[in-house]
Structure formats: C-alpha cells, structure tokens
Structure 1
Amino acid sequence: MQEKKYEAARIEFQGFVSKFPKSGLDESALYYIGECYFSEKHYEDAIKAYQQVVDKYPKGGKTAGALLKQAMGWQQMGETTMARIIYTRLVEKFPGTPQAQAAQKKLQQL
C-alpha cells in the first residue's frame, strides 16, 4: 500500500516538472521524485533523479541533500567506491552543512 503512495506522488511530481519546468519549484519536485524512488528502493532511478537536481541547481537548496541521498543509494547497492566519491564531493562543496556532517560520518563507516 505504501509503495503505491510513493508511486502516485512520484507521478504527480513528474507531471509538475513537465508542466512547470521553470516555476522555481521544480528543484524541490525533482528532489522529491528522487525521494520517492529511494523510498521504493529503486536506487538507480533515485540516483538519476538526484543527479538532475545537482546538474540543474548546482548551488540550490536541495543539492547537498541530493548528493547525500545519491551516495546513500550507491552504498545501498554495494557500490562503496561511488558512495565514497559522492560523500567526499559533498563534504568539499558544502562544508559545515548538516548533510556534509552526515557524509563525514558515513565516510568514517565505509
């Protein structure tokens, strides 16, 4: 049942991005598309969605979170080298943020 809600939410966010690509809210919609995929354990799709946030909004408010979740997705798939690369990039690009602090802890655990 819960998975259906994520799927429905993802479809709505995708529709929003398609209809309003320059609304200023599409950064959040793209991020939440990634969140839906991540919650459904579709990590590859989540990583791709988060990458759209990173590419389109390199200094955006959701970018640090997108990088963190990307790295976590790689880690969930057993790709620790990729996870390490993304965690390190996050720490370097967004020092002092809560996401960078979380990434630093994750790096110590790898």
Structure 2
Amino acid sequence: MKLRPFASWPALMGGASLVVASLWPLQAHALFDDDEARKAILDLRQKFDAYRQDTDAKLGRLMNESRDAGTASQRSMLELSNQNEQLRAEIARLRGQNEQLARDVAELQRQQKDVQAGVDARLRQVEPAKVSLDGAEFTATPEEKRDYDAAMELLRKSDFAGASSAYAGFLRRFPGSGYTPSALYWLGNAQYANRAYKEAIESHRRLVAQYPSHQRTPEAMLAMANSQIELKDGKGAQRTLETLVRTYPQSEAAAAGRERLAKIR
C-alpha cells in the first residue's frame, strides 16, 4: 500500500483553523449555558432565602399570635374565675339579705299580731257586748259588766253593806244601763239583808214602777211586802201582796203572796 504524503503546512493550518472555527460556537455556547445556570441557581437561592425568611416571619407571627391567644385565653379564664367568685359572693350576700328579710317579715307579722291583739283587747274594753240576763237581752260596755259582776260577787260573799254601796254606785254611773232592773232588785235584797228596810222598799218600788214587765218585778213586789212586814206595816204589805196577785197571777211570787195574804188578813 502506498502512503500519501502529508499536506503542506498552510493547508494543515488552514484545516486547523477550520476545525477551531467550527468548534468555537460550541465552546461559546457551553460557556453561556454555565453562566445562565449559575445565574438561575443564584436566583433560585435568593428566592429560596426570601421564601425561607418569609416563612420564618409568618411562623414567628403565628407563634406570637398563638402565644398572645394563649395569654388572652388565660386572662379570659382568670377573669371568668374572678367573675364567678364575685357572682358566688353576690349570691351569698343576696341569700343572707333574703334570710334577714324573712326574719324581719316574721318579726313584723308577730308585732302586727301583738298590736292587733292589743287593739282587740282595748276594743273589748270599750265596745258594747250583747248580754242576756233575767230574761232580757241588751248591750253593755265591758265596764258596766265588770262593775255589775263585782257587786254580785260582794253579795255572794254576804257582804251586804259592800254590795249595797256597789249597786248604788253602779246605778249612779250607768243610769240607762240594761243592768238597771236587775241591779235595783239585788240592791233592794242587799238592803233588806242589811236590815235597811225603807231603802229596800224604795229600791224595789223603783223597779216595779219603771220596769213592770221585767222578770224580777213580781219577786220585787213580794220582797217589798216582806220589808213592810218587818216595819210593822201590815196594811201596806197587804195592799202590795194583793196588787202582786192581781197583776202577776201566774208568777211564783204571786203563789207565795197568796199564802202570805192568808196569814196577815
């Protein structure tokens, strides 16, 4: 095989030049790609750093907000606890006031009852009350009843002088009392028992004249005749007994008067 001789140097240099010329765009393009990549990396790094900083800032804000929210929550819980304690204290205070008011109301009610009882007692001392005595019904004040009952008590004890004084005083104090006819009758009897016969006749005569329809009137006429007999006034006693029998024929006193008449005629 026959070898071909080397080309000339110029030709060789020209060919090299062509090779270099053909390779330059590739090298330039490769250098350009490296710069762009470095720039892209730098941009990406900057963006990453910015994103990280932004993320860190947001995370910090969230942590601060969470911390603030926790503090606010704790503060709210503390305020609620304080309000709850205040509410309990207020309820306890109101309960105490309610209990005190209940005691005050009970005390006022008791005092009102006492006052009402006192008023009722005073009214009973002055208000007239219905009385039924010796077949008659009437109203009398407590004072009238008290004085009349006091005179009757003296008579029951056989204190005839005291009873006479008590009945006489009663008739002066209460001249229009419904007790008057009964008081006149018992006054005459007390005077008779005390041997004050004239006074007894006068008391019984007042009863007969002023209250002819009273239940005690026939008995008063019989008592008058007895006083007249004690005074040796037989004619006067006879007239009194005859009037008794004629006026009240159905009375027990008239029956006793008839027997007495038979003895003195």
TM-score normalised according to structure 2 size: 0.39
Please state how far the C-alpha of 1:87 moved relative to its aligned partner: 0.2
Percent identity, aligned pairs only, is: 27
The structure, 1 or 2, with the larger RCO (C-alpha pairs under 8 Å, 6+ apart) is 1
The aligned residue for residue 22 of structure 1 is 176
Aligned length, in residue pairs: 108
Q: Aligned equivalents of 1:41 and 1:14: distance in 2?
A: 16
For the aligned residue pairs, the C-alpha RMSD in angstroms reads 1.4
Alignment of 1:24-103 (within 5 A): 24-103=178-257
Counterpart secondary structure, 1:106:
helix
Aligned residue for 1:9? 163
Alpha-carbon distance in 2 for matches of 1:32, 1:23:
15
Q: What whole-Å deviation, never above 9, does each CA across 1:14-58 have from its counterpart, x for those lacking one?
A: 111111122211111111110111001111111011011011101
Runs of at least 5 residues in structure 2 that lack an aligned partner in the other structure: 1-154
| Alignment deviations for residues 70-96 of structure 1 (CA, whole Å, 9 cap, x no partner) | 011111111111110000000000011
- SS of the residue aligned with 1:107? helix
What residue ranges of structure 1 are gaps of 5+ in the alignment?
A: none
Distance 1:12 1:76 in 2: 24
Query: Which amino acid is the alignment partner of residue 191 of structure 2?
Result: Y
Aligned residue type for 2:229 = Q
What CA distance in whole angstroms lies between the structure 2 residues aligned with 1:15 and 1:26? 11
What's the TM-score once normalised by structure 1's chain length? 0.92
In 2: Cα distance, 1:76 partner to 1:19 partner: 31
Whole-angstrom distance in 2 between the partners of 1:64 and 1:13 = 20
CA distance in 2, matches of 1:18, 1:61: 22
Rounded to whole Å, the distance in 2 between the matches of 1:15 and 1:62 is 20
Please report how far the alpha carbon of residue 63 of structure 1 lies from its aligned counterpart in structure 2 after TM superposition: 0.8
